[in-house]
Copies of this chain bind each other. A is one copy, B any other.
């Protein structure tokens, strides 16, 4: 005999562009470009066992709700959109005991002095994820992805164990590059979301830039520590840092020196460093990472 375990359902990747005409400095338009995914949990055994959908708020309805809230809320920070949506689903559907809403936000910058023209900035994707749980309360994660950074120097890697399969040479000077995926958890959800995102992003970049690194793990820890120090509302940081290897090209066969000048970036395989940094007094995460 079998039974139903954990489950959830929702609408993924609802794309929304919200324009607020003339709302920007200088009378230009403001735009927010979102990719919203909703996910609901609760008393949903019936639909699984018998196809009785009386508790299943259609994913089509969830999509519509995203559109309607985008209109009502205006060009708010993505965290606000996610919190409002999550609260709505739990409040309005008695059978739903938990809602998770994730938002990706893509950046645009005005073209020249134009009030109506924008160009996509592609240097990172901003993200947030809100869980509104009847029992555990509201939790907010924010973060970023697709931010690619490199240091041309100030990175070493040596002193690692050598077993029968180890061929890697030790190095006192290597290029270090990674594509940052970061999530941080707020202990305080009454902040200025755009402001704290900007501070966290800047802390991340400066930690990467200023850390003389003996391992990507050390850099990871420095980034987490710096974000927590810079944003008191943050109590936990989780990072996934692929080591985007840049290999020094051997130019000796061609009679050429290569004094750390010519590298070839490799696609696969890549090192993958994942880790968590917590404030000593970080509260229990509850359902934040669910």
Contacts and interface: CB of A to CB of B under 8 A. Distances in A.
Interface of A: 1-21, 29, 31, 33, 37, 39, 44, 47-61, 63-65, 67-68, 70-72, 92-93, 108, 111-112, 114, 116-124, 146-154, 156-168, 175, 205-206, 208-210, 213-218, 220-221, 224-225, 228-229, 236, 238, 242-243, 246, 249, 251, 253-258, 260-265, 267-280
The main secondary structure of chain A at its interface with chain B is mixed
Number of identical monomers bound together in the oligomeric complex: 4
Contact of A61 (B31, B166, B206, B229): B166
A149 B117 contact: yes
Contact of A47 (B61, B217, B274): B217
A18 B260 CA distance: 9
A47 B49 CA distance: 49
Contacts of A19: 152, 175, 260-263
A48 to B, nearest CB: 4
A4 B276 contact: yes
Contact of A206 (B17, B20, B112, B278): B112
A269 B167 contact: no
Contacts of A31: 150, 152
Contacts of A10: 271-272
